[in-house]
A and B are shown apart, each in its own frame.
Chain A
Amino acid sequence: MSRVALGPWVLSWVTATIIEFAVPPAVQGQVVQVSVVTIAASDRHAHVDKKLECIAREIQKKEPSLTGFRVVRTECKSLPVGTREEIKLCEDQIATVQIVRAADKNNWVSLVFKPPKMGEVSYEVVCGKYFPILTRCQTKNGERLILAIMVRPCPKGQ
């Protein structure tokens, strides 16, 4: 398993600048649905929400001390391409998301996601699948927050 730590800050600044001015007018107005599931992972219990069995298994491979997983909140937003929106997580924590490019012909969406206490993550992902981020945010109970983000095109007419 390889570990990849990316980029000096200048790369992210350049990327963000390009993203800011690179959205072609033709795609503005397209809307993408973003779903963010906020998950709390604990090392104090071993109950795993049935919905989270898959993600729990993957997280455990990297962080075996986390044994209990529960859904705290799910938030869905429909975002036009280019706008930046806040997503409520839990306990006043927020993340921001910006859609860079709506679904292409292969169903890939490009977005920038900024979790709390982290820098921006710029990535592309297929529609309908969740991409997890294990943050270093903790709840008041000491649970670590995991964010699972999924995008999909909005139904036609939106």
Chain B
Amino acid sequence: MAVLTIPACPAPSDEYLLARFAKGDRSALEELFRRYRGLAYRVAYRLLAHEADALDAVQNGFVKALAHLDSFRGKSSFKTWLLRVVSNAALDLGRQRGRREAIGLGAADHSLANGSEPLSRDDPTLDLQRADLRQLLDAALATLPEAQRQTFVLHAEAELSYREVAEALGISIGTVMSRLFYARQKLRAYLAPRIVR
């Protein structure tokens, strides 16, 4: 009897799911949504710093991406293309609604203005202060120009490579890298007085 080693069952590829979706298969849509909703949300949230707005951006992004599949075909991976659409939808929403202040941000800055100790990396209560830390990051991101913010979030949150970010945004890899440097520089300048190492 032959011994046969068969690899683990492969998950359907994005291309396969898109083809099934194009034929009206609702389960393919569900699988695509389940596969990328978390990542899309995290990108949108970082750009908008508001849960409800981020969910709207995810919804708008998915609808736009799937209703215009013809403009996608083969130019990049579906993931890269989807994140481009979602991040653009988030930026559009941010412009329409005015990028909201993060909840409690005013309180965090106010406490610092009163001379409270900055958050310390070695502070044993850091876990409890993660929400404040995230709000500080949100405020710092808001100081970046849109192009730098989008580039930074796609690389840092979505963990897209330089090449993928370049494909998503239609820019050169060199531009991606320089935007990352300057974005980090600005973020550090904003955060340095507020976070002690």
- Choose from A48, A54, A67, A127 the contact partner of B26 (Cβ within 8 Å): A127
* Residues B1-47 near A (CB distance < 8 A): 1-2, 4, 6-10, 20, 23-28, 30
A60 near B4: Cβ-Cβ < 8 Å: yes
Q: Is A53 a contact partner of B10 (Cβ separation < 8 A)?
A: yes
Is chain A's interface secondary structure helix, strand, loop, or mixed overall? Answer: loop
Q: Is the CB of B27 within 8 A of A126?
A: yes
Q: Would you mind naming 24 contact pairs between A and B with Cβ atoms under 8 Å apart?
A: A46-B4, A48-B4, A48-B6, A53-B6, A53-B10, A54-B9, A56-B4, A56-B6, A57-B8, A60-B6, A64-B1, A65-B1, A67-B1, A67-B2, A67-B4, A107-B26, A107-B30, A127-B25, A127-B27, A128-B20, A129-B27, A153-B26, A154-B24, A155-B24
Q: What are the residues of chain A within 8 A of B27 when measuring CB–CB?
A: 107, 126-129, 152
- Determine the residue in chain B with the shortest Cβ distance to A128: B27
Q: B interface vs A, CB < 8 Å?
A: 1-2, 4, 6-10, 20, 23-28, 30
B20 partner residues in chain A, CB cutoff 8 A: 128
| 10 nearest A-B pairs in the assembled complex, by CB-CB distance | A128-B27, A54-B9, A155-B24, A57-B6, A46-B2, A67-B2, A127-B27, A67-B4, A53-B6, A46-B4
Q: How many A-B residue pairs lie within 8 Å, measured between CB atoms?
A: 45
A104 contacts the other chain (CB 8 A): no
Per-residue interface assignment for chain A, residues 129 to 158, with 1 indicating a CB less than 8 Å from any chain B CB and 0 otherwise: 100000000000000000000001111100
In the complex, what's the smallest C-beta–C-beta distance from B1 to chain A, in angstroms?
Answer: 6
Query: A143 → chain B, closest Cβ, in Å?
Result: 15
**In whole angstroms, what is the CA distance A16 to B1 when docked?**
41
B6 surroundings in chain A (CB, below 8 A): 48, 53, 56-57, 60
> Chain B's interface: helix, strand, loop or mixed, by majority?
loop
Task: Specify which of A57, A65, A107, A129 lies most central, judged by the most chain B CB atoms within 10 Å of its CB.
Answer: A57
Q: A153's closest neighbor in chain B, by CB? A: B26
Query: Nearest-CB distance from B27 to chain A (Å)?
Result: 3
Contacts of A127 in B (CB 8 A): 25-27
Q: How far is the CB of A71 from chain B (nearest CB, A)?
A: 16
Query: In the complex, which residue of chain A has the Cβ closest to the Cβ of B24?
Result: A155
For A, the interface residue count at a CB cutoff of 8 angstroms equals 21
Using Cβ atoms and an 8 Å threshold, which residues of chain A touch B10? 53-54
Quick check: is A86 within 8 A (CB to CB) of the other chain?
Answer: no
Our pick among B1, B9, B25 for the contact of A43 (Cβ within 8 Å) is B1
| A53 closest partner in B (C-beta) | B6
- Determine the chain B residues whose CB is within 8 A of the CB of A153 once the complex forms: 24, 26
Interface pair A128/B4, CB less than 8 Å apart: no
CA distance A126 to B2 in the complex (A): 34
